[in-house]
Structure 1
Amino acid sequence: MGRSINPLHFIGQDGWTVPDPDTAANSEGLIALSWDLAPDLYDRCYDKGIFPWFEQEGVVFWFSPDVRSVTPTSEVKVAKSMRPYMNKKQWRFSVNTEFEKVIEKCSEVPRPGQAGTWISETFQTNFLHMHQLGMAHSFEVWESDELIGGTFGVMTGAVFVGESMFHTRANASKFAYIGMCQYLSRNGVEFIDNQLPTEHLDSLGARNIERDEFLKLLEVHSEGRERVIIEALTKTTLPL
């Protein structure tokens, strides 16, 4: 028999509750809609593995996909192709020094098969607000004084939810991701929630798990846990 179709939930209004992650309305995991974005929405929904994917005509679409990509921070892969960048020490890594610029770059970089970006002004404004609240963080890569790569995301308990990444030099986004995993691992964060699987993430050590396994991971590392505090870090090199 085919999968049953559940009605969509509407979240963010007075008295709203977080939907059961297993009640997604379609195979892609669409589960809820909201009129806007707010830190409270992220705070409550991310604990249950529900995230906003895009905005269309003023409506935000929230998802809980069947398969989730996660990376254990201590198991990030450093491919042989990355070792020269780390050995030469030409690139530097930093944390929370240019959050707004990283978001702008992520929204501007052309991506194959995508006509636009999901990081609309609504998303950018909300992420900036969450950064000010200590919820959202950026990880940057520098060549001299030029920002050439980066990634950003949201901390929920002891799980970091990766949102997007960019590069203007080959492998700079991988450098950012490796640095992010190393930094978060040292600060007690054991997992990155990559949200959706990609070959790029798989090459960096991500593994794809079913929703049930992912929700159990969140129960241990996110729900009821105090949010890990991520401090700023000035430019430094990455260890091999």
Structure 2
Amino acid sequence: MIYRLDEKQISFPHPSLADEDGLLAVGGDLSIDRLLLAYEYGIFPWYDEDTPILWYAPFERFVLYPEKIKISKSLQKTVRSGKFRITVDTAFAEVIQACATMDRKDQQGTWIVDDMQQAYINLHKAGYAHSIEVWQDNKLVGGLYGVQVGRVFCGESMFSRVSDASKVALVHLAQDFGLSMIDCQVPSQHLQRMGAELISQEKYLLDLAHQDIKPYGFQRTL
């Protein structure tokens, strides 16, 4: 059963009530309060221009534990080379725009529609959504963005315009911010090669329950 949300009431059904594809609810809005409540309970929006707002809570989550990240020798060399400059929260809107417009294999269009972009920009301005930017010759060549829930970073998307740029952003995310878990949401081969794994919804929600979502908590620990 797919639940229809009341736009006047900010609430969600329990994530365990999602269907086999992880679809939990439809409707509602992308207000800051609703998005924060969703992330606190392991729920995220994912839809396109041809559908209403859809909310997902998959029964398995694809996550990366920072202490388990696998960095190839070639990527280690790239990270140490200094060829990229890394910044944090300096170009959030540019990162989300780049993620929305990147051509991706076997994917037509984008789920990061205009309303989604504005919603996450609002979350960023409120201190809950963050970005890591990768620069080369003063040009933005890669990055990622997501929502921080305590020590859990819920990654939304990443992009790369030159080889390894998004991977470098992920390495910095895993190593520099004292995170306990990075939620990658959608399984991919390259993230699996870097150590990401599937865990049950129950384990994910248990880990999430120990987190305290608060603004402006995204700071380097080094």
Q: Same fold (TM over 0.5)?
A: yes
Structure 1 residue 19: Cα displacement: 1.0
Gaps of at least 5 residues in structure 2 are none
State the distance in 2 between where 1:92 and 1:75 align: 24
Q: Is the 8 A contact 1:12 1:41 kept in 2?
A: no
| 1:15 matched to 2:14 | no
Structural RMSD (CA) = 1.9
Aligned to 1:154: 147
Q: Deviations over 1:24-77 (max 9, x none)?
A: 12x211010124311111111111111111134461111111210111223322
Among 203, 213, 219, which residue is 2:209 paired with? 219
Aligned to 2:183: 193
Aligned to 1:236: none
Aligned to 2:217: 229
Aligned to 2:128: 135
State the distance in 2 between where 1:161 and 1:51 align: 9
Identity across aligned pairs (percent)?
33
Structure 1 residue 90: Cα displacement: 1.2
State the distance in 2 between where 1:127 and 1:16 align: 18
Q: Deviations over 1:156-193 (max 9, x none)?
A: 232110000000101111111111111222xxx21111
Q: Normalized against structure 1, the TM-score is what?
A: 0.86
Q: Which secondary structure does the structure 1 equivalent of 2:48 belong to?
A: strand
| 1:203 matched to 2:193 | yes
1:85 is matched by which residue type in structure 2? T
State the distance in 2 between where 1:116 and 1:85 align: 31
Aligned to 2:90: 97
CA gap 1:116/1:57 in 2 versus in 1, 3 angstroms: closer
Structure 1 residue 227: Cα displacement: 5.2
State the distance in 2 between where 1:158 and 1:111 align: 29
Q: Normalized against structure 2, the TM-score is what?
A: 0.92
Q: Is the 8 A contact 1:97 1:140 kept in 2?
A: yes
CA gap 1:58/1:140 in 2 versus in 1, 3 angstroms: same
State the distance in 1 between where 2:81 and 2:56 align: 41
Q: Is the 8 A contact 1:156 1:227 kept in 2?
A: no
1:94 is matched by which residue type in structure 2? T
Aligned to 1:106: 99
CA gap 1:157/1:84 in 2 versus in 1, 3 angstroms: closer
| 1:68 matched to 2:96 | no
